[in-house]
Structure 1
Amino acid sequence: MSELEQVAAALGSPVVGTRVLAGGFSHETSLLTLASGPVVVRIGDTDHAIEAAVMAAARRHVPVPEVIDVLSVGSRSAMVLEYVVGTPLSEVLDDAGTDLGPLGVEVGRVAAAIGATTFDRPGFFADADLDVKPQIPWSQQLPEFAAGCMDAVPAARLDPATRTAWAALCAGHAPALAAVDDDARLVHADLNPKNILVTRVRGGWRVDAVLDWEFSFSGCPYADAANMTRFGADYPSEFVAGFQSAFADEPAEWLYLGRVMDMFALSDLVTRPAGNPVADRAAREIRRWVAESRR
């Protein structure tokens, strides 16, 4: 019996059809059509209980699919989610249609609302009760984290001089994070156009769901804004401007501090195996940062 058939048996409904939706770094996502209706199933090697708890907490402030069940399928964990109708934001931006400024504003508003969920301290979640593990401040973590990642980058992705320069750049900017070291708000940590479903509605746009919460942590929401605009040069400028305007109520330095927070993600992304397209895009961004620093 396949993993999806095990899920269907646990839900007590026959399988009508299956379709692969997407794949993350640590999971596979499929649309499972049952006699009782469609559901989304995420299967991975890590326990989904923490992610399910995060989604339940976030759902009080932002549109998030309902978690139907978390169960074991063989040696792996499966999370069954409500199927939400909507178009991936990535597809909308690729079409470069009209009205993308208001779309950016709506996405920015929802992104900012993620941080309305708060915790006692910053750090990563220890369990499904969303207890947060103690940690050293981000400003102190970044230099060592970046240096360690540069040691693990595939040789063909970044040359040694760029790796050294990036580690030094991270160490140089890290002290700025002292301003947000104590922030303890929910961070999605993978907020990008592939993880947002949207629909054009009368008078504008609606965000239908924010997906894939597996990397979430307690910290500074500026990281989510930086994540969304990391490859902003590839998006229509009016969308980016609209998105950034939705963060206008935040301190003016959020753009800079978000970029410094994003150094964690960029450093980690480029360690992925050779041939990973997102890792290659991250490498181009790192080279751009390094080139700008030398001007």
Structure 2
Amino acid sequence: MLAATVLAGGYSHSTWLVTLSGGPVVARFGGGDPAIEAAVMARAPGPVPSVLSVDPMVISFVEGTPLSSVLASAAPDLAGLGHVVGREVAGVAAVRFDRPGFFTGPSLSVGEQPPWSAQLPGFASQCAAKVPSSRLDTATLSAWVDLCAEHAPALSAVEHQACLAHGDINPKNILVSHADGSWRVDALLDWEFSYSGSPYADAANMARFGADYPPDFMPAFAAGFASGLTDLPPVDEWPYIGRVFDMFALTDLTTRPEGHEVADQAAAIIRQWTKTGVPRTL
């Protein structure tokens, strides 16, 4: 090993850029089951790094700029970027499984579980008991649990869907580049939270903090995403259904320890939704 540098990355693991005699690779320590993640990455369509080692997880280095950095800059044609990213994210759903649920091992078999609509109310209630009191007060948490129960039935429209879902698709997990006047996606990273489910959850994951993005990006992302789901029957109000799916993640995030930046952002969304309702659009 010639050099090692810590990379900005996930909150559940540490990521290092390691320079070897043969070139750079990326090593990750911590997080979910690396054997499951490696199997998912081997099946995932689109631009996905190659897995060089499973334990520890070592993947090929991919040149590119994090989408989060691009959205924070004065980059050109953010509408074009949004459309390209939307289609790439939708493409993940081309991989199908026998049933929705979570992977039980590297064979990517999916365990049986209750429908998502039946899980959300209880999940919200269980998580509420773990949220630091400094993050959300009791009244807000109670209102949030009621809101989850109210909107959970919307998931019944798509809970039969058994597509590959990334589970953590957001601007820090996407590498992009701009050349010859157009954008391309170079890599989709960090597949440790992937599962079998609805692609609309991934779309809502991207939209979670969309209010912080430049205004041209999210409408183009939504259009690109919808156009990329060519082999799924159209679903009415899919952006709203995606937002309801995201209530799982928002609830879980708020249970993180005090001082967790993303958890505090999730809490701000929960406070907003308990006042204004679940958004119907991305």
TM-score (norm. length: structure 1): 0.90
1:109 aligns with 2:87: yes
- The equivalent position to 1:284 in structure 2, one of 258, 268, 276, is 268
Please identify the structure whose Cα radius of gyration is greater. Answer: 1
Q: Is the 8 A contact 2:123 2:248 kept in 1?
A: yes
User: What is the correspondence of 1:146-157 to structure 2 with a 5 Å cutoff?
Assistant: 146-157=124-135
Q: Residue 5 of structure 2 aligns to a residue in which SS?
A: strand
1:33 aligns with 2:19: yes
Q: Is the 8 A contact 2:6 2:15 kept in 1?
A: yes
Distance, in Å, in 1 between the alignment partners of 2:276 and 2:193 is 29
Q: CA deviation at 1:45?
A: 5.7
User: What is the correspondence of 1:154-169 to structure 2 with a 5 Å cutoff?
Assistant: 154-169=132-147
Q: Is the 8 A contact 2:31 2:192 kept in 1?
A: no
* Deviation readout 1:248-291 (Å, 9 max, x if unpaired): 34534110000000000000000011000000000000011011
Query: Relative to structure 2, which stretch is displaced further, 241-250 or 46-55?
Result: 241-250
Distance, in Å, in 1 between the alignment partners of 2:46 and 2:124 is 32
- Identity fraction in percent: 58
Q: CA deviation at 1:29?
A: 0.5
1:170 aligns with 2:156: no
Aligned to 2:244: 260
Aligned to 2:48: 64
Partner amino acid, structure 1, of 2:83: V
Distance, in Å, in 1 between the alignment partners of 2:10 and 2:225 is 28
* Deviation readout 1:214-263 (Å, 9 max, x if unpaired): 00000000000000011111001111111011133453411000000000
Query: Relative to structure 2, which stretch is displaced further, 161-170 or 194-203?
Result: 194-203
The runs of at least 4 consecutive aligned structure 1 residues that moved more than 3 Å come to none
User: What is the correspondence of 1:42-121 to structure 2 with a 5 Å cutoff?
Assistant: 42-44=28-30, 46-58=32-44, 61-71=45-55, 78-121=56-99
Aligned to 2:207: 229
Change (3 A) 1:193 1:82: same
Q: Is the 8 A contact 1:39 1:83 kept in 2?
A: yes
Aligned to 2:231: none
Q: Is the 8 A contact 1:96 1:236 kept in 2?
A: no
Distance, in Å, in 2 between the alignment partners of 1:45 and 1:148 is 22
Aligned to 1:3: none
* Deviation readout 1:16-61 (Å, 9 max, x if unpaired): 1000012423311100001111100011164300000001110xx2
Cα-Cα RMSD: 1.2
Q: Is the 8 A contact 2:33 2:192 kept in 1?
A: no
Q: Which structure 2 segments of 5+ residues have no match?
A: 228-233
Q: CA deviation at 1:98?
A: 2.1
Q: Residue 153 of structure 2 aligns to a residue in which SS?
A: helix
Q: CA deviation at 1:69?
A: 1.1
Distance, in Å, in 1 between the alignment partners of 2:29 and 2:238 is 35
**Larger RCO (alpha carbons 8 Å, 6+ apart):** 2
- The equivalent position to 2:189 in structure 1, one of 211, 229, 239, is 211
Q: Is the 8 A contact 2:5 2:16 kept in 1?
A: yes
